[in-house]
Amino acid sequence: MLQAEIKTELARLITENNVAANWQSGGAVPSVRADAIQLTTQNSPVQLGRQIAGSIYGSIDKAI
């Protein structure tokens, strides 16, 4: 469930913010440094997946 939520949310962020258009001619980065996420005992897999995807997206957006 967590992996699926990360994929779904990351795809949504990339599509909604037109990042894919910036990579139409190709794109690769060797690594990205993702921002910290907040872990609590109250995090559901959906909430955690969205946080992780948002952190990854923020790093990708800075790298391109």
Return the residue matching tokens 């109250």: 42
Give the mean pLDDT of 4-31: 80
For residue 48, being part of any structural domain is answered with yes
pLDDT of 61: 67
pLDDT, tens digit (0-9, with 9 covering 90-100), for 23-63: 666 667 778 888 899 898 888 999 999 999 999 888 876 76
For residue 52, being part of any structural domain is answered with yes
Helix ranges (H only) for 1-64 are 2-16, 19-22, 45-63
- Total of domains in the chain: 1
Residues 63/32, Cβ–Cβ less than 8 Å:
yes
Return the residue matching tokens 């952190």: 55
pLDDT of 23: 67
Q: What is the pTM of this model?
A: 0.78
User: 64 lies in which domain range?
Assistant: 1-10+43-64
